[in-house]
Amino acid sequence: MKSRNLYVVLFVLIIFATKLTGQNVSTVISATIQDVDRIEVETTDKIHKKEFTPAIQPRVKIQSINKHGNMFQLHTERLDLSNTYYLLFQDQKLEIQPGDVFNRFYTDEEMGCSWNAESTTFRLFAPRAKNVILGLFEHATDEIGTEYPMQKNRNGVWELNLESHYFGKYYAYQVDGPDSPTEDFNANAWLADPYSRAVATENNYLARGKTLIIEPSRYDWEKDTWTHIDQEDLIIYECHMRDMTAHPSAGAPDELAGSYKAFIQNGIRGGLEHLKSLGINAVEFLPIHDFGNIEIPYQKEVDGVVNTWNPYERNHWGYMTSYFFAPESYYASEQRLTPGGMCGADGRQIFEFKDVVKACHQQGIAVILDVVYNHVSQYDQNCFKHIDKKYYFRLKPDQTYCSASGCGNDFKTERPMARKMIVESIKFWMTEYHIDGFRFDLAAMLDWKTVDAITKAAREINPDVILIAEPWGGGEYEPAKFSKHDWAAWNDQIRNGVKGQNPYENHGFIFGHWFDSNNRETMKKYIVGTLERDGGLFQKKAHAVNYLESHDDHTFGDFVRIGLGGSEKVEDRDKNARLNAEQMRVNKLGALFLFVSQGPVMIHAGQEWARSKVIAPTDAPENAVGHIDHNSYNKDNETNWLNYTHADMNSGLVNYYQGLIALRKQHPAFRRSTQRDIKFYDATDNEFAFAFHLGKKASGDSHHFYVALNGGHKSATFSLPKGQWSVIVNADKAGTAVLYRTADHITVPPTSGMILMQG
């Protein structure tokens, strides 16, 4: 108690002495450059203007000071942004950080490498750089090339024009900028162009790259164009390019397995051949943008970070984008990630991915790219970090990277030239590669001005472009807001309502349980499109991308296995893959609910045979082998590769999906019915059973349909509307063919459903 009283007395004396001497104990919180002649300073409390007497180092004359609360505006001589400035006040020395001054730099000029008949022009946006050097190289592996100094214009763009063309050669930049502990400039590092169309990268975690200058393509699109599928008609197959053909069961030759070429090879089991047999009309590829494949070494320190989480040292899924305009080269033919080698040196990835798009279009399949603009690759020699991290990234007050994305470097999409790059990337993939649409990773981290700019630019090219948000990220959850901006979004409400939130205790409708606030009435709302007017998320049903499984979390098949009491430790992979009768019923009921719900449908690769992700021995810690994996982002092995022999084991489920897809494609009632066309009926003695009637007028269908769904553990009986009805889907089979006819009523077994057709 005595020591506490002593501290109180000392505090009072300090305050009293401060008032007597006129000194203020307030400190500066931040200082930012808002314009080339204006600095904004924030202090901890309100102090008198006459008491605020700062100085700037290196010396810059302060011409006037304005005060607003605890904010001060310092009007100065023109600042040189290639310098590091410090604010001096009392005993403080605080680095002045760039702020809104960045927003004054903008250009509509073409960035990257461009050419005309006589010359080649290089442009790089680096507003705070002191010097930029362009290096031209004969070979991707060259350490020494021909160096050219570039000139800076008033828009922060460095430019160089050279006579002649340099097709087949490589280039990179060296960027030198302000020097301080908070910067990441490295004047000795060669950086590939952020506008690279093809990149040759080293096979290590730094992934040092050079940009390949590609001669104007003579690629023959054979009159190919976009598919123009109405959004509510979409049946999307989300998949990983390599996983589709890497497993021997896919039937691709060893030298092509996992490549773009293998994906479109005729006569094999996997790849496009499988998608054709299934009947889907859109494929959504996990990231195709060139990305950081290799992570830092396991259990070794690199720049103060120890990799304790990834023994595979790989990023297999691709959610670590490095270049927004270049296709991933590892998926090109004859490419390997062998240490000491390189990927992408000859640029074949460009032409081989165009072949993929064209082949999909020839089968009436739209191509959607999963794009990552909310963050970039983390551990490689990332061009954005070394060109100007303070421009391109959201930073903490100490100027370290924000990680609301969970990936360590959140991209500052609201910067004008960052927004320009994102919009131009979208336009480029649409025009150069004929891409039909995009799914935006962690889209809630994009600023809304960028969202609207994407929409405007994309729809000017193709009014039917597909724009889908993963509508969360950075702590935000915005599906309703994306719908108001006229984007579709993943519908996690139907996902959680149908199957549950996790396989351990939070089970949903198909298990005969209610998760969270779900009940029979909410399930009906999902059927009609999860519309906002019903307490849902979307302005229109075309915005509700309904799904039960994606690349994230457990596969739907594993969710069901675990949810029904199965073990997460697998001794026999094939035995685990084969569904028992109960697992089959639950899988089929989930699929049926999904395909009779209004709104676009998405399934994930292998969902049609209840794919199980069991950790393979390759490079895995011994205690992990054989466990079911809920997050396989780092495994380029049989954990992820699609095993088509498992499809044969569960051929009944594959056939069920094929039948539901055919039914949905043939009958618009399951895609285009309005809320007034749908009439619901409840089972009286089973809270998990209900039915609905689909009228034929508004949907344009020539038939009436009656759909009954029973997630409960006992049978449910329903009286049918008058007339003769034909059963086309039951617990065992699905399709467009009549299985048998009935009238008056139906009895739906537990954990199953039925569809009947009339007319």
Q: What is the pLDDT of residues 137-158, one digit of tens each?
A: 999 999 999 999 999 999 999 9
d(CA 478, CA 69): 34
Q: What is the pLDDT of residue 698?
A: 63
Higher local confidence (pLDDT), 743 or 224: 224
Please give the average per-residue pLDDT across 267-290, as a whole number.
98
Beta bridge partners of 157: 125
User: What DSSP string runs through 426-446?
Assistant: HHHHHHHH---EEEETTGGGS
d(CA 238, CA 552): 11
pLDDT over 90 at 16, yes or no = no
CA-based nearest residue to 190, from 217, 205, 172, 166 = 172
Please give the average per-residue pLDDT across 379-388, as a whole number.
96
Q: Residue 585: enclosing H or E segment and its boundaries?
A: helix 581-595
What domains, with CATH codes, occur in the chain? 2-101 (2.60.40.1220), 104-212 (2.60.40.10), 231-665 (3.20.20.80), 676-758 (2.60.40.1180)
pLDDT band at residue 366 using 50, 70 and 90 as cut-offs? very high
d(CA 195, CA 324): 7
Percent of the chain with pLDDT over 90: 92
DSSP class of residue 614 equals: B
Place of tokens 């979208």: 426
DSSP-derived 3-state class of residue 18: helix
Q: What is the pLDDT of residues 193-204, one digit of tens each?
A: 999 999 999 999
Tokens of 256: 């092509």
Please give the average per-residue pLDDT across 308-328, as a whole number.
97
Q: What is the pLDDT of residue 621?
A: 92
Q: What is the pLDDT of residues 67-87, one digit of tens each?
A: 998 999 999 999 999 999 999
DSSP-derived 3-state class of residue 757: strand
pLDDT band at residue 215 using 50, 70 and 90 as cut-offs? confident
pLDDT band at residue 664 using 50, 70 and 90 as cut-offs? very high
Q: What is the pLDDT of residues 527-568, one digit of tens each?
A: 999 999 999 999 999 999 999 999 999 999 999 999 999 999
CA 446 to chain centre: 11
Percent of the chain with pLDDT over 70: 96
CA-based nearest residue to 162, from 225, 214, 93, 113 = 113
pLDDT over 90 at 2, yes or no = no
Q: What is the pLDDT of residues 608-643, one digit of tens each?
A: 999 999 999 999 999 999 999 999 999 999 999 999
Q: What is the pLDDT of residue 695?
A: 86
CA-based nearest residue to 485, from 445, 534, 451 = 451
What count of other Cβ atoms lies within 10 Å of the Cβ of residue 399?
16
pLDDT band at residue 25 using 50, 70 and 90 as cut-offs? low
What count of other Cβ atoms lies within 10 Å of the Cβ of residue 363?
15
pLDDT band at residue 19 using 50, 70 and 90 as cut-offs? very low
Please give the average per-residue pLDDT across 689-704, as a whole number.
88
What value does the mean pLDDT of the chain take?
95
d(CA 496, CA 475): 19
CA-based nearest residue to 281, from 236, 249, 340, 239 = 236
Tokens of 587: 């899988």
Q: What is the pLDDT of residue 12?
A: 41
- Which residues lie below 8 Å from residue 21, measured CB to CB, with a gap of 6+? none
Please give the average per-residue pLDDT across 19-26, as a whole number.
46
Beta bridge partners of 148: 134
User: What DSSP string runs through 463-523?
Assistant: TT-EEEE--EETTEE-HHHHHHTT-EEEEHHHHHHHHBS-SSS-B-GGGT---TT--HHHH
Tokens of 663: 């039914």
Beta bridge partners of 695: none
Please give the average per-residue pLDDT across 673-680, as a whole number.
94
Contact 669, 703 (CB under 8 A): yes
pLDDT over 60 at 9, yes or no = no
CA 382 to chain centre: 19
Q: What is the pLDDT of residue 617?
A: 95
Q: What is the pLDDT of residue 458?
A: 98
